[in-house]
Amino acid sequence: MFCVSSSLARNTVGREGTIPANYVQKREGVKSGGKLSLMPWFHGKITREQAERLLYPPETGLFLVRESTNYPGDYTLCVSCDGKVEHYRIIYHNGKLTIDEEEYFENLMQLVEHYTKDADGLCTRLIKPKLMEGTVAAQDEFSRSGWALNRKELKLLQTIGKGEFGDVMVGDYRGTKVAVKCIKNDATAQAFIAEASVMTQLRHNNLVQLLGVIVEERGSLYIVTEYMAKGSLVDYLRSRGRTVLGGDCLLKFSLDVCEAMEYLEANNFVHRDLAARNVLVSDDNIAKVSDFGLTKEASSTQDTAKLPVKWTSPEALREKRFSTKSDVWSYGILLWEIYSFGRVPYPRIPLKEVVPRVEKGYKMDAPDGCPPVVYDLMKQCWTLDPVVRPSFRMLREKLQHIRAKELYL
């Protein structure tokens, strides 16, 4: 006989009863951020001697993986066994990993999972990982904080988007329609763990809501979010155009995004990639900011190699300085996208000329039909000195004032 932990719950009509406790586990934000690891046993570039010191005192089945010192590009599996440490070269061959050239694996997570179940030629099966100092196993942290979902309860239905990182699919989780980012590659999945941990800390009606995370031992990561039926804002604007969407609708989208950004501002988060392509539209026409892949706590720096030039502020491009005020610049570009019904910013200007012209004070013209008061807000967002740009709170108050005036006209 087995027992499932249960909790007392009340339904919408006030009747009480018990339900499994895992249905109502209290959730908290995942705070470990950069320390979360899908591969906490991976120690990177350490020497053979360092690995042996880490695996002391000897404990059969204690293991770690390091980069190979003798064969760059390969790895080494170090396993404590009967009082000494064995080192197994992991060969990278034709995009796959192998120890014995009989079993091949897509990634290190699959390889480790295989040898935890069966020694299969090693001196012992892998029993206990030696965690790299300062790391936390991602699966454990998502489970502890209440964000781990059960893979068996998720049905993947159809692909709605393909990216360089993996597929976005429509799924069903316990009868609810959901969107699922499916990331297969372990290195890429590691980057998305940071996105998921940020999303656990954020809750606002105009941010796409994380529902949970599934980490599979074989290296796959599923990030499950609410399903946004009408797709990205840029596609929504382009497909409907000015014959369908009136000024009130454009103003509502502008306010939706501004309110989400005011919330991030108040909580000291910087989005870094705000654009109409990263805003999604729900079935009931609510715009919600998504794609927190670059989101970091405020005022940090990052590599600018892959930044979207037309949406990124001059100081972020030049000095890698990101702040809420660099998000405000991007918001001005997003406003221009909304009022031009999804046009690409800086039309007819070659990409290489955009930054030099902007740094000399160039500002885009108002989109056709854009109210002067809204265009004025765009220009305030594009002030070269970030200190002078308005806050999202100020922008939201001005947009609400514009909307109130329009409603009375």
The catalytically annotated residue of 74, 82, 186, 273 is 273
Q: How far apart are CA 87 and CA 137, in angstroms?
A: 23
Q: How far apart are CA 91 and CA 31, in angstroms?
A: 35
Q: What is the CA radius of gyration of the chain?
A: 25
CB-side neighbour CA atoms (13 Å) of 103: 16
Could you tell me where the beta strands, DSSP code E, fall in 231-286? 269-270, 279-281
Q: Which two tokens stand for residue 186?
A: 């372990």
Q: How far apart are CA 135 and CA 141, in angstroms?
A: 11
Q: How far apart are CA 101 and CA 22, in angstroms?
A: 43
Strand partners, 89: 76
Binding site for ATP, by residue number, is: 181
Binding site, by residue number, is: 181
CA dihedral 385→389→392→393, nearest 10 degrees, is 130
Q: How far apart are CA 311 and CA 76, in angstroms?
A: 43
Q: Do 192 and 220 touch, CB atoms closer than 8 A?
A: no
Q: How far apart are CA 188 and CA 40, in angstroms?
A: 15
Q: Is 273 a catalytic residue?
A: yes
If we measure between CA atoms, which residue out of 295, 254, 252 comes closest to residue 395?
A: 254
How big is the CA angle at 23 (ends 22 and 24), to the nearest 5 degrees? 90
Q: What are the distances in angstroms from CA 137 to CA 42, 53, 68, 130, 142?
A: 11, 22, 23, 11, 9
Owner of token pair 């030696």: 130
Would you name the residues annotated as active-site residues? Answer: 273
